[in-house]
Each structure stands twice: as structure tokens, then as C-alpha cells.
Structure 1
Amino acid sequence: MKKARVIYNPTSGKETLKRNLADILDVLERAGYEASAYATTPAPDSAMLEAKRVGKAGFDLVVAAGGDGTINEVVNGIAPLKKRPKLAIIPAGTTNDYARALKIPRNNIKDAAEVILKDQTVKMDIGKTNGLYFINIAAGGHLTELTYDVPSELKSIFGYLAYLVKGAELLPRVKPIKMHLEYDDGIYDGNASMFFLGLTNSVGGFEQIAPDAKLDDGKFSLIIVKTANIFEIVHLVALMMNGGKHINDKRLIYTKTSKLTVKTPESEGRLMINLDGEYGGDAPMTFENLHNHIEIFANTDMIPEDALSDTEEEAYEEVSKDFIKEVEKLTDEDIDGDGKIADKK
């Protein structure tokens, strides 16, 4: 029989996970798993260490039950392994961005667990930097540092509304930082109030920050906000909430990239990096997209078609692009008198 381990935060969601644990285990048994559970502790990296342990022990499935922080820890436990178990998530946090992107029920724990019974999975991209893994965002700049000042009790009570209220209060602090950013299609050298790398379209409860994000295409959505003017930032937020129209604004750069290197001059001081909503270290840093790295249960029949790759069509497009690039490299010496590619052997 396949084995599954539920790693749950007993304090998440006003202890609802603890009260519903028997239902979760019952669902896993119905799905054909021999199921067991582990309650995280206040000790550092409790969820991560347990996820790594059961992954190495050959478990087939790890269920991360809790908020986005618990999910991030579990991913950091299994991501470095050569043979990785499948992942399922049961949200019980505040914003639950990952569950939102995967269309997993966020208000009913049993319904979230029963997604496993549908046996629908997605091979998800995740990000990596300095030995750390992230599943939703990496960001840096004064705009992102606002989130560190939101008290945890406010997050629990008001959710992403707390970010808006506190963010509005702290906006006057925002100032530009000199950044050097290298990405697939170019280099940005200049002032910016924020850079943002997204893996899904849901951040802090908003689904329009990266409106065309795909979950499995090997690319981050990169946003570089060049302005630090309060009124311009508020205008960009309004455009974002009005159907994601901010991505075409000249006050920011919006592109796709598989890699990003971030540096700042020493004179700028530290540039704090936010990974999935928590402090993840200081620049310089290089971020890499790990394509299709973790297989995760999701409501794939409810995820919009444009959020997942059309594998055959996009593979054809990729091969076509590579072919064109190779042809463009050819010189007159490479072509023989009949217009064919010369054999240089």
C-alpha cells in the first residue's frame, strides 16, 4: 500500500486542522494510502525536517496542511531530493495563495482533502536561490519590505486587507533603490522601488499581479517597478485591480524569464529579499526556475486553460524558435553552391 504523511500546523485556522484530522486521514485511506500524521512544533524548520525525513523514507505522498508558510517549509524539505513524493495541500492560513492558484477549496478542510480523490495533478515549477526554495514569489525593494511591518495578529484577522491598510500607512517611506537586474531578455540598470518574481497569478489574495502566469512553463513573471512616486504607485495598483492593465504601463517592466540575478551597489545598503512572504536573505542573489519540479494535486479541471502549458503546441514553438536561431547563425561559408548546408567533415 502507498504511504502518505500529513504534516499539519496544529495552530493554523483556529486549530481547525486538529479537529478535522480524522476526516483527512479517512480521505487518504479511501484514496489508497496508509496514512499517518505529524504535528509541527515551534522548533525551527519542524515541517521541513519532517518532510525531508519521510521523503527519504520513500513515502509516496506528503500532505502539507496549514498556511503558506507551512507549505513553503514542506516544499523546502522535499525539493532537494532526487526522488520526490507527490504533494497535496490543505489550506488553513490567511491568504492561501497557492491553494487559490490551484483551485483547492479554502473554506472547507474536508473538501480540500477530497481533491486527492480526483487524482488530478500538475507538475509545478518552483524557484530556487541560495539553497532555498520558494513556491509563489520572490521580491525585493521598499515596496515589498512593507509586508514585514504587518503584525501577525492583523494578518490572521483581516487577511490581505491588513496589507492594504498598513501599506497605505507606510507608502511615504518608499524610495527608489539602484538595482542591477539580469534576466533572459535583457538587463535593467537603474532605480526601482521593487522587483517581483511570480510563479502563480495569486499574491496576497490578488489574482491580477501576474495575470498571464502559467504554473508549469519554466518561466517566472518578472515585474520591475521603476517609479517610487506614491501617486504613481497607487495608480499602478488601480490598473492592476482593473484587469491586470498595469503590465503594459511604461513605469514598469513586465516580462517572462527562467532566471534572474539581482545586485545593488554597496552604497545602497542592504536589499532584503522576500521569499513567499518571509525574509529570505539579502542581495546579491540569483533566482532559478526549476521546471516541473514537484507533482502536486490540484483541481485541474477548474484551473483556467491559459494557466497551464499546452505541452505539444508550446514544445513545437520552442523547437521552431531554436531552429530559427541556428539558421540565423549560419554564414556564407556554411552554405554550399546548391544552397545546402555544407558538410564540414
Structure 2
Amino acid sequence: MTGSSREIALLTNPTSGKGKGARARAAVLPRLRAAGIAVRDLQGGNADEALDLARQAVADGVDSLVVCGGDGMVHLGAQAVATTSTSLGIIPAGTGNDVARYFDIPRKDALAAADRVIAARTRTIDLARSGSSYFVTVLAAGFDAIVNERANRMTWPKGQMRYNLATLAELRTFEPLPYTLELDGVVHRLDAMLVAVGNGPSFGGGLRITEGAVLDDGMLDVVIIKTMTKPDLIRTYPKLFKGTHVTHPQYEHHRVRTVTVAAPGIVSYADGERFGPLPLTIECAPGALTVLC
């Protein structure tokens, strides 16, 4: 499709990356228009307003919704375009930018990311779905969710170090949780440090918790980290960046189409956003998202 016949909605979170989102938008808007693309420049005052704007643009028939921000904006955009013919574009401008990592979209060069949008190459992938809500990356449902809660309350430092410090802070008091899991109809009861449900392989800025997850295989990857000592958890944590934790004896991996996760007192996170309290049932939604990449 030529630039002159395309219309996109550019949806920006101006506060992403402490203003990085607004700066990225200012850079890419003229680039996109110079390519002959009709651009709706959208900016919500809050997440609800932004989602309303995104859904209206999709209902109006834009070819693509392009989000300018972090994984939270990708998450929001996915709610608007899932199962539609509207593709999702990404201008990374957040902290973790895991979805951009999945597609090798430039994370430090907004103009190069905009050129991916202009090129209009696409890939269709699965989403994970719980009720009417979707996620792209990983659902955190244990120690990792508690870390997310703390990290989101922190204003310093930026980037991955925020998650590292939140991990160390929560580790002092954390105890294993009693889980009930239903994996494709089979019930498991066990104590574990965390359970993660992956559509993709990483979250939290490159933590490859669900190493091996494939975005378009019609399956979810459920990883269980069973009870381990706190020193062992600290030693294992750095291995998440390379996915080498998979050799640990307390690591367990299942590939399923549907999973129900229950544990007391846990609010799950997905794509770095609060997703909902447990218990939750999550299923794979094959081919539900088309990404400009």
C-alpha cells in the first residue's frame, strides 16, 4: 500500500520514559507525513481516554494504530486492534520495550522505528486472552508481580535497574506461594516462587522468563519456579537475561492452550501493567494481532 493511500493513528503517551514519548512523537510525526501517510495525532489525558481514542480510530477504519511509548502503550493498543484488520505499529519510548525487542524494532532511534512503520511490513502473531483483555508479552503471577508492583511505585532509577532494586527489596520478606494451576484441564497444586504465563519470551526489559516461547505457535508457555532459597534465587536472577535459568532443577515449563492460575493475595501484571487479581483463566488467541515490523 502506498503512503498516499494509508491512514494511521499515532497514539502517544507523553509521559513515557520521563517525556521520551513526547520527544519521539515530535520526531516521527513529520517523518511519517513526509512519506505521504495521513496521520491522526492522538494523545489521551489518561489510559481510559487513550483507549477510547484508539478504539474510535480503529472503528473509523485507519490502516494502522501506531503507539508511541513503552510496553504499556503496546498493551493498550493491543486492546483496540486485537482480532481486527488494523495493524499495530510501535515507536519504542518506554522503559522495558520488550515487544520492540521481539521484532528488532530500533529502541533508541525513533526515526528508524518510524521507517519500519513506513515500510509497512507485517507479521501476524498470537495474543494471550483472559475474558475480554489481551496481553502480548508475559503475565507475572507471583514474586515477579510483587516486584512489578514495587517497581511501578518507584521513580528512580530508570530502566532495568529499577526492577533489579525492586527485586532485592521484595526478596527480604517474600515466602513461596501456594498455587493451584489447571493446565489444559489437568490440576496441579504446589508451592512456588512464581508462575509466569508467556505469549512471548521476555518481560521487564529483557528478562527471558518464558525462554522458548514462540509468538505464533498457538500455545502459551507456563513457567513455574518452585521453592528455592533466597540466595539461590539471587544467584539465578542474572541468568534470566540470557534464558539460561532453564537448567535450574526448580524450573518447570509447560506448553498449553489454556491455563488457570490461582494463588492468594496476588494481583497479576501483564505487559508491565496491572492485569487483574488471581484467579485468572488465560487462553491463547491465535493470529489475533498484526504488527508492523
Asked if Structure 1 and Structure 2 have the same fold, meaning a TM-score greater than 0.5 normalized by the shorter chain, the answer is: yes
1:208 aligns with 2:213: no
Q: Which has the larger radius of gyration?
A: 1
Question: How many residues of Structure 1 are paired with residues of Structure 2 in the alignment?
Answer: 288
1:69 aligns with 2:72: yes
| Partner in structure 2 of residue 314 of structure 1 | none
With normalisation by structure 1, the TM-score equals 0.77
Instruction: Quote the Cα distance in structure 1 between the aligned partners of 2:276 and 2:207.
Output: 26
Name the SS of the counterpart of 1:76 in structure 2: helix
One-letter code aligned to 2:6:
K
| Partner in structure 2 of residue 303 of structure 1 | none
Does the Cα contact within 8 Å between 1:47 and 1:70 map onto a contact in 2?
no
After TM superposition, the structure 1 = structure 2 runs for residues 157-236 of structure 1, keeping only pairs within 5 Å, are: 157-184=157-184, 186-206=186-206, 208-236=208-236
After TM superposition, the structure 1 = structure 2 runs for residues 2-81 of structure 1, keeping only pairs within 5 Å, are: 2-21=6-25, 23-29=27-33, 32-42=36-46, 44-79=47-82
| Partner in structure 2 of residue 111 of structure 1 | 112
After TM superposition, the structure 1 = structure 2 runs for residues 81-120 of structure 1, keeping only pairs within 5 Å, are: 83-120=84-121
| Partner in structure 1 of residue 255 of structure 2 | 256
Instruction: Quote the Cα distance in structure 2 between the aligned partners of 1:46 and 1:196.
Output: 30
Does the Cα contact within 8 Å between 2:203 and 2:272 map onto a contact in 1?
no
Instruction: Quote the Cα distance in structure 2 between the aligned partners of 1:142 and 1:56.
Output: 39
Name the SS of the counterpart of 2:155 in structure 1: helix
Does the Cα contact within 8 Å between 1:50 and 1:77 map onto a contact in 2?
no
Deviation at 1:20, TM superposition (A): 4.8
Structure with bigger strand share is: 2
One-letter code aligned to 2:253:
Y
Name the SS of the counterpart of 2:246 in structure 1: helix
Name the SS of the counterpart of 1:153 in structure 2: coil
Instruction: Quote the Cα distance in structure 2 between the aligned partners of 1:15 and 1:250.
Output: 43
Does the Cα contact within 8 Å between 1:261 and 1:286 map onto a contact in 2?
yes
Name the SS of the counterpart of 2:104 in structure 1: coil
Deviation at 1:14, TM superposition (A): 4.1
Task: Note the residue ranges of structure 1 that are not aligned, 5 or more in a row.
Answer: 299-345
With normalisation by structure 2, the TM-score equals 0.89
One-letter code aligned to 1:295:
T
Does the Cα contact within 8 Å between 2:196 and 2:210 map onto a contact in 1?
no
Deviation at 1:207, TM superposition (A): 5.0
Instruction: Quote the Cα distance in structure 1 between the aligned partners of 2:233 and 2:23.
Output: 43
Instruction: Quote the Cα distance in structure 1 between the aligned partners of 2:34 and 2:78.
Output: 25
Deviation at 1:248, TM superposition (A): 3.1
Name the SS of the counterpart of 1:193 in structure 2: strand
Could you list the per-position Cα deviations for residues 192-226 of structure 1 after superposition, in whole angstroms to 9, with x for gaps in the alignment? 12100122223212253233221211222211111
Does the Cα contact within 8 Å between 1:47 and 1:74 map onto a contact in 2?
no
What's the % identity of the aligned pairs? 27
Does the Cα contact within 8 Å between 1:248 and 1:254 map onto a contact in 2?
no
Distance 1:283 1:14, change over 3 A: closer
| Partner in structure 2 of residue 153 of structure 1 | 155
| Partner in structure 1 of residue 245 of structure 2 | 246
Distance 1:109 1:253, change over 3 A: same
One-letter code aligned to 1:167:
T
Distance 1:85 1:107, change over 3 A: same
One-letter code aligned to 1:250:
P
Instruction: Quote the Cα distance in structure 2 between the aligned partners of 1:180 and 1:40.
Output: 39
Could you list the per-position Cα deviations for residues 19-62 of structure 1 after superposition, in whole angstroms to 9, with x for gaps in the alignment? 454542344345553212111213x4122111111111111111
Distance 1:186 1:4, change over 3 A: same
One-letter code aligned to 1:153:
T
CA RMSD of aligned residues (A): 2.2
Instruction: Quote the Cα distance in structure 1 between the aligned partners of 2:192 and 2:24.
Output: 46
One-letter code aligned to 1:131:
S
Instruction: Quote the Cα distance in structure 2 between the aligned partners of 1:31 and 1:86.
Output: 18
One-letter code aligned to 1:51:
A
| Partner in structure 2 of residue 329 of structure 1 | none
| Partner in structure 2 of residue 122 of structure 1 | 123
Distance 1:30 1:207, change over 3 A: farther
